[in-house]
Copies of this chain bind each other. A is one copy, B any other.
Amino acid sequence: METKQTDCNKLKAPIRCIVKLGGAAITCKNDFEKINEDNLVTVSSQLREAMMMSGSSTSAPVLDMDWSKRPGSKVVDADPKEQQQAVDYNNFIVIHGAGSFGHFQASKSGVHKGGLTKPLVKAGFVATRISVTSLNLEIVRALAREGIPSVAMSPFSCGWSTRDRNIASADVSTVVQALDSGFVPVLHGDVVLDESLGCTILSGDVIISHLAAHLKPQFVVFLTDVFGVYDRPPSEPNAVLLREIAVREDGSWSVVNPTFQGTDKQVEISVASHDTTGGMVTKISEAAMIAKLGIDVYIVKAATEHSQTALSGKLIDKIPEDWLGTVIRYVS
């Protein structure tokens, strides 16, 4: 895969974490274009805490950075003051999925299959972007209200494009500049131009893999709506949470915790059996590619004590017994 790219060494400070806000965690999945406000507030607050450099006072008042009207309000609530304490943040990048935004527009038009000359596909491209950028704006605002200096970076606007659904051009220099200036870039799954198909969908997970490969964060966190990766659909009664997955040099992976006596193979088949696009095997495979770079990947339920632990980076040293989630980690 040939891509235009910027040397990651250009970054003034290393990236601590790339975090994915899963669509299922921050939106109400069965409610058209509805944000899960409670989760989003908690996630934003946890992110703020995780981003703060050790030594920064957690008791400093939060500087609300959203000075725009709220729906139903006529005025701005924020009262920006001259005197503010500077807070230093670790470098974080946020990427979010679409959840109940964008899905209707994309499936109605088939924009993922390309064909921009068709009026419906072109309209769907516009409509899908409107939906996902609406969500992006709300997430940027939620983070800003928690004092996180978030800036929207829409992949299509950044000039990112694909060829046969693989990333063809995804210059990360704009993301690097934003990070170096002290901002937290907020990207999202988007519709983009595709050199061979005309257009397609660039998923948030593919964006994360790309950014992780080029910017080498210390760890990656996927915030989702279940406790992690299970051996079968988590709604099934005997579903077992896979706590640790080991990734080998060749990219293959296996579950190392819990240990299934001599039934490793069965577990993997069982996972595959309920996989659909974007399902668990896809997720593990994408995560394994990141882990292969020596970057820990944590898949964890959003807005819980477990997500807070994962975002803090403490899992790098030790995974507590009572921590619920899935660690995907390289073993040499």
Contacts and interface: CB of A to CB of B under 8 A. Distances in A.
A220 interface: no
Q: So how many copies of this chain end up in the complex?
A: 2
A12 interface: no
Contacts of A68: 33, 101, 105, 127, 130-131, 134
Contacts of A193: 177-178, 181
Interface string A76-119: 10101110111100000000000001001100110000001111
Contacts of A125: 149, 151, 183
Contacts of A101: 68
Which bucket holds chain A's interface residue count? 35 or more
Given A119-B85, A156-B151, A181-B198, A71 B71 contact: yes
A314 B290 CA distance: 57
A291 interface: no
Given A105-B67, A137-B133, A144-B126, A154 B156 contact: no
A327 interface: no
B152 A141 contact: no
B130 A140 contact: yes
B33 A69 contact: yes
Contact of A182 (B86, B116, B141, B158): B116
Nearest to A129: B151
Contacts of A178: 193
Contact of A137 (B81, B130, B149, B174): B130
A67 B108 contact: yes
A293 interface: no
A64 B129 CA distance: 14
A141 B137 contact: no
Interface of A: 32-33, 63-69, 71, 74-76, 78, 80-82, 84-87, 101, 104-105, 108-109, 116-120, 122-127, 129-131, 133-134, 137, 140-141, 144, 149-154, 156-159, 161, 171, 173-174, 177-178, 181-183, 193, 198-199
